[in-house]
Amino acid sequence: MREPLLDPTGDSEREINTTLMPRPGSLRGLTVGLLENTKPNAVPLLQAVGRELTDRYGVREVRMFRKGYFGTPVEENVIQQMLRNCDFAVAGIGD
Amino acid sequence: MLERAGIPAVSICTDAFKITAAAMAMSLGFPGYEYVTVPHPIASRTGQELVEMARAVVPEVLRILGVDH
Amino acid sequence: MDADDLRRAMEYYAEQGWTDGLPVVPVTESYLAEFLATTSRDPSAVVIPMPHLNRNLTVRLAALNAALAGCKPEYFPVVLAAWDAFLADGMVSRAIWQSTTGTAPFVVVHGPVRTRIGLNCRGNLFGSGFRPNATIGRAIRLGAINAFGLRPHVLDQATQGTPAKYSCCIGENEEDSPWPGLHADNGFAAGDSAVTATVIRSVLHIEARHTMVPEQLAHDLADTVCRTGALVRPTASVFVVLNPEHARLLDKAGWSKRDLTQAIFERGTKTYRQLAAAGKEAIAAGTGWRLPADHPDAIPQEAPADPDTPVRLLSDPTAVRVVVAGAPNAGVSSVVETFGRPTGPPAIAKVETHSP
């Protein structure tokens, strides 16, 4: 009998999936959300990443968001704003 | 969480933090389970150094996002 | 049946990183249903929450990993009871399996379920060769790797680990023991099936083939229990797994399990000089761990006038829990070094008997 093999990690059932999301393929015309965690130099590094993405890869818009405190999860309203306004996200910096 | 609603995400960590970066990404509630590393330290870098680091790390970011480049 | 298909399915699980290094049993929904049918618990019920990892072990995931491990469905109530006991023991929830200390899950099964499923309680107790022992221990380990994501080098930071991490599940040999089982000492009826669980560092071998004197056996055991290498906490905590021959020797001399634990407790010391030779004579402020007296974190203390003053390395006799298991064919017993609940009653959970 043909049946799918089950995933023992529970990832396939969880709302948060650790497998990668469908990939955009091209960044042309997309909006990137940059999430900085208040660590020193997080903002300038992310801004530089944003400039690379717009200059070389066709990203249309860069938006910067801030995490309230580096040690705790990102706030729900920040997540919602990123979801509403951005096509993908880059966060930094863990150190 | 960003992943739940479906936007791809990548985290940037310093290489001093590499081994637990995935754990950090998950536990901080930022779902970028895939991460790219930049050389430690960050805090003491000049603006120009940061620009160069960004240039070096963006191709990795694109690889994770599945973008041809 | 196409053996190539079967191997392809096993390879798929290996490629996903869903194994412990050994091949696993591919699991489908209909097969999983056989495991879930052995319990009245809801598949979505959380057995162990792990909020700091954003993960929960549900009944369904516990069953999935039991099937993956090669358990038969009838073993699943034992696996569930083991998880319940790990929750009660407390260290799993406190992220001990991420720690450099590298502990393994340790499971002891008591009561009629042992016979029903063919769990080994006798010769080659800790070794491989019996499906229930091999797969029940493995079910816990795969649950840790898959359901909690505790992969070595990533979230599992064990420095060296222990071979017991492959699987460490034994049955108490109640039939050959002069005493009631550990579960009966701790509020269960002898006829109940129950599981004791904790996290362990080592299984140490004791050869005591010729001693006829209980105090000598107690001394031999205490020497291993209180070895300096085991000490990071100020005191030690163990299970003594006595083979039935040693148990009968003690019983014939009029000793109970309590007499044995008391005797080990009294002999469970090292001198200040011996601790200092290993750099473990002082206690750290903050962690409470043992370290040298000249370490900057050491709580200041006066060294005793006589460096050969004995230092107690067991808090009380309940730091030693006695289980009787193995073959009654030689004077070989074991000391299992634990890092779970250190004293008082061990964590024991009932095995559910469920008729669908």
Q: What is the ipTM of this complex?
A: 0.86
Distance CA A20, CA A11 (A): 11
Which is more confidently placed, C297 or C108?
A: C108
Beta-strand pair C104-110/C282-283? unpaired
- Name the amino acid, one letter, at C67: A
Bridge partner list, A94: B13
pTM, entire model:
0.74
Q: Which two tokens stand for residue C20?
A: 């412990």
Judge residue C200's burial from the number of C-beta atoms within 10 Å of its C-beta, 0-12 exposed, 13-18 middle, 19 or more buried: buried
Judge residue C330's burial from the number of C-beta atoms within 10 Å of its C-beta, 0-12 exposed, 13-18 middle, 19 or more buried: middle
DSSP code of residue B65: H
Q: Which two tokens stand for residue C211?
A: 């001693």
Q: What is the pLDDT of residues A44-83, one digit of tens each?
A: 999 999 999 999 888 999 999 988 765 566 777 888 888 8
How open is the CA angle C181-C187-C190, to the nearest 5 degrees?
40
Q: What is the pLDDT of residues C249-294, one digit of tens each?
A: 999 999 999 999 999 999 999 999 999 999 999 998 877 889 999 9
Indicate yes or no: CB of A10 within 8 angstroms of CB of C147. yes
Q: H-helix or E-strand containing B57?
A: helix B47-65
Q: Which two tokens stand for residue B16?
A: 């001093």
pLDDT at B20: 60
Please tell me which of the candidates B19, B20, B26 has its beta carbon nearest to residue C54: B26
Confidence of residue A17 (pLDDT cuts 50, 70, 90): very low
Tell me the chain A residues in contact with residue B64 when contact means C-beta distances shorter than 8 Å: 20
Indicate yes or no: CB of B20 within 8 angstroms of CB of C155. yes
Q: What is the pLDDT of residues C208-233, one digit of tens each?
A: 999 999 999 999 999 999 999 999 99
Per-residue burial over C4-35, b = 16 or more CB atoms within 10 Å of its CB, e = otherwise: eeeeeebeebeeeebbbeeebbbbeeebbeeb
Distance from CA of C112 to the nearest CA of B (A): 42
Distance from CA of B19 to the nearest CA of A (A): 11
Bridge partner list, C291: C282
pLDDT at A72: 61
Mean predicted lDDT score pLDDT of chain C: 94
Beta-strand pair B9-14/C46-50? unpaired
Tell me the chain C residues in contact with residue A10 when contact means C-beta distances shorter than 8 Å: 55-56, 58, 60-61, 146-147
- Mapped onto helix, strand or coil, the DSSP state of residue B1 is coil
For chain B, the distance separating the N- and C-terminal CA atoms, rounded to the nearest angstrom, is 28
**What is the percent of chain C with per-residue pLDDT over 70, rounded to a whole number?**
98
Give the residue on B whose Cα is nearest the Cα of A56: B69
Partner A contacted by C51 (CB < 8 A)? no
Bridge partner list, C57: C48
Put simply, the chain C residues between 299 and 338 with a CB less than 8 A from any chain A CB are none
Tell me the chain B residues in contact with residue C53 when contact means C-beta distances shorter than 8 Å: 23, 26-27
Beta-strand pair C332-338/C194-207? antiparallel
Indicate yes or no: CB of A3 within 8 angstroms of CB of C30. yes
How many C-beta neighbours within 10 Å does residue C229 have?
10
Weakest-pLDDT range from B9-13, C139-143, C331-335: B9-13
- What is the rounded average pLDDT of the residues C306-324? 97
Let me know: does A66 contact A82? Beta carbons within 8 Å.
no
For chain A, the distance separating the N- and C-terminal CA atoms, rounded to the nearest angstrom, is 50
Confidence of residue C144 (pLDDT cuts 50, 70, 90): very high
Instruction: Indicate if the pLDDT at residue C17 is higher than 70.
Output: yes
How many C-beta neighbours within 10 Å does residue C39 have?
20
Let me know: does B12 contact B50? Beta carbons within 8 Å.
no
Which is more confidently placed, C326 or C150?
A: C326
